[in-house]
Amino acid sequence: MPKLLPLGTGFLISALVLPCSFSVAQEIPTYRAGLKSLAIPVPSSELVETGSDYRVLFENLAPTTNRLIAAFIEAPDLDSIRSQGSTALNRYALVEVPRRAEFANVTIDQFKEITDSLASQLGVKVDESIKDQQDEINRRLKALGSKVSDVTLEKPVQLGTLFSKPDACAYGMIMAISSGGKTKKMMIGVTTLRVQSRVLVIYTYNEYKDESSVQWVRTTDEHWADVILQANQ
């Protein structure tokens, strides 16, 4: 089963500058994936979903192996995007589904194989593919007409497993990203979920300042995974 899920390591493409008051709906919104309607609440009070009109701006930021189904950013950043301004995203989250496995029914045992495979991808393979990711980021920036200087990625600091449960597992890393003479460190959480027998991949980003930045991702990802699973029972 893991061979059918080339989740990819291109998630770092999302750490970009995007050219871009939002109220959260009372009902949990649903998104289509693999013939299923999946309920996905907001991950935290700081983030809002972009909505379909602005979600398209984030589709080019997903790895080619995945399809974006939801994007969450901070409300001031959404306001900036709506006013056609530019903003450096410091805290945001993307929900994606693996294209080649979107319609696959995944058992608990198969999900365990998938998370074990992802752990390998986020280890040695991430380190080996840094140059490819960096080149892909810069190609996509140019395709979007961005004036941002070329992006340089540094080797990530692997933090290992953030949490592990039967239907949810998350891994973390810290990555330094440089552009235009400035460097920003991002805490990145990668969570795989088994929801209604489908697999979702969630990427959570938070600017790294200290240990509290790591803890925010760890706590948010685990709480969000629990809430998503509960909403889809």
Residue appearing with tokens 């701006």: 57
> Residues with Cβ < 8 Å from 82, sequence gap 6 or more?
20, 54
**Per-residue confidence at 47, pLDDT binned at 50, 70, 90?**
very high
Query: What is the tens place of the pLDDT at every residue in 130-140?
Result: 788 788 878 88
β-bridge partners, 66:
98
Percentage of the chain surpassing pLDDT 70? 84
Query: What is the tens place of the pLDDT at every residue in 141-183?
Result: 787 777 777 888 898 999 999 999 999 999 999 999 988 888 9
Read off the DSSP letter of residue 124. I
Query: What is the tens place of the pLDDT at every residue in 183-208?
Result: 999 999 999 999 999 999 999 999 99
Question: Which contiguous run of DSSP H or E holds residue 75?
Answer: helix 75-82
Question: 214: closest CA among 170, 153, 177?
Answer: 170
Task: Give the type of residue at 143.
Answer: A
Integer-rounded Cα Rg, in Å, for the chain is: 17
Sort 131 into a burial class: Cβ within 10 Å, 0-12 / 13-18 / 19+. exposed
